[in-house]
Each structure stands twice: as structure tokens, then as C-alpha cells.
Amino acid sequence: MTDLELMLCAVEARKMSYAPYSNFHVGAALLGKSGKVYTGCNVENAAYTPTNCAERTAVFKAVSEGERAFEKIAIVGGMGETIADFCAPCGVCRQVLAEFCDKDFKLILGNPDNLKTYTFEEVLPLSFGKSDLE
């Protein structure tokens, strides 16, 4: 699966976003090492703090279906109908990804007209993870 194909899955997933409070709609597509794609969108809540980001929705779907090793994730977000030039994953989502992703895990950000790729190490250097608890 190419980076662009994965990003287009994120664009599709974004259409399911439930974001009546922020109107900021996010889609994510996570490629498992099995080759399966897990998509997610943000799901907001009237009490605000129970809101779940698109990236975590994708990770939790994957893990709950038995997949724990991942190759890359594509993320798109923006206000209303518009896909922004760039939507970075929040800190909480980076930490959730840290649990399951190697340092060479790739993040595909930007939008379908301008993809930018980063390694996990670049977006969360000096991370705390499971090896710290060994």
C-alpha cells in the first residue's frame, strides 16, 4: 500500500468524523504489519473530555482486533469540509502510538496533494515507553 493510498483511506475515514463541537474533522488510516488497514475518525462528546481522536480510534480498533504491530499511519484533518494543509497528531495520540510502534514507524501527514513523511522518532523523541518498565 502506497503512502498516497493510505492517505486516501484517511480521507474516507474523515467523512465519518463526529465533531459537532469543534467542527474539526480528522481521519486516520493505520497500516498493520499484516497488511490490513484500520481506519478511525474523531468522536466528540458533549462533556468534551471523553472525546477520542481519530488516531486513537484507529489504534484501538486494531489492537482490539488482535493486531499490535504497525508500519505506518496517515492522518488528515481540517475545519468543516476542508482538508487542511497539515494536521499533526496530538501528544496523547503520539504516546498511544509509542506503545505499539517501532522508531522507524512512519507518519504520513499533510494532504493528498502534498504528503510529508516523518519517522516516529522525529515526532516523539526521548519517549517514555514499555522498555522503561522492564
* Shortest CB 101 distance to ligand THU, Å: 15
Q: Which of 55, 67, 71, 121 is catalytic?
A: 55
Q: Smallest distance from the beta carbon of 45 to ligand THU, in angstroms?
A: 9
Burial per residue of 37-67, b for 16 or more beta-carbon CB atoms within 10 angstroms, e otherwise: bbbbbbbbeeeeeebbbbbbbbbeebbeeeb
- The residue among 52 and 119 lying less far from ligand THU, judged by its C-beta, is 52
Q: Which three cell numbers stand for residue 77?
A: 484533518
Number of other CB atoms surrounding residue 130 within 10 Å:
9
Residue 116 and residue 15 in contact, taking contact as beta carbons nearer than 8 Å: no
Site of interaction with ligand THU (CB under 6 A): 19, 22, 24, 26, 42, 44, 51, 53-55, 89-90, 93
Is 31 or 59 the residue whose CB approaches ligand THU more closely? Answer: 59
Task: Establish whether 134 is a catalytic residue.
Answer: no
* Distance from C-alpha of 101 to C-alpha of 128, rounded to nearest angstrom: 12
Query: Looking at beta carbons only, is 66 or 85 nearer to ligand THU?
Result: 85
Minimum Å gap between C-beta 4 and ligand THU is: 20
Q: How many CA atoms lie within 13 A of 115 on its CB side?
A: 17
* Secondary structure class of 86 (helix, strand, coil): coil
- Residue (22 or 117) nearer to ligand THU, CB: 22
Task: Work out how close the CB of 133 gets to ligand THU at its nearest, in angstroms, rounded to a whole number.
Answer: 25
Indicate which residues carry an active-site annotation: 55
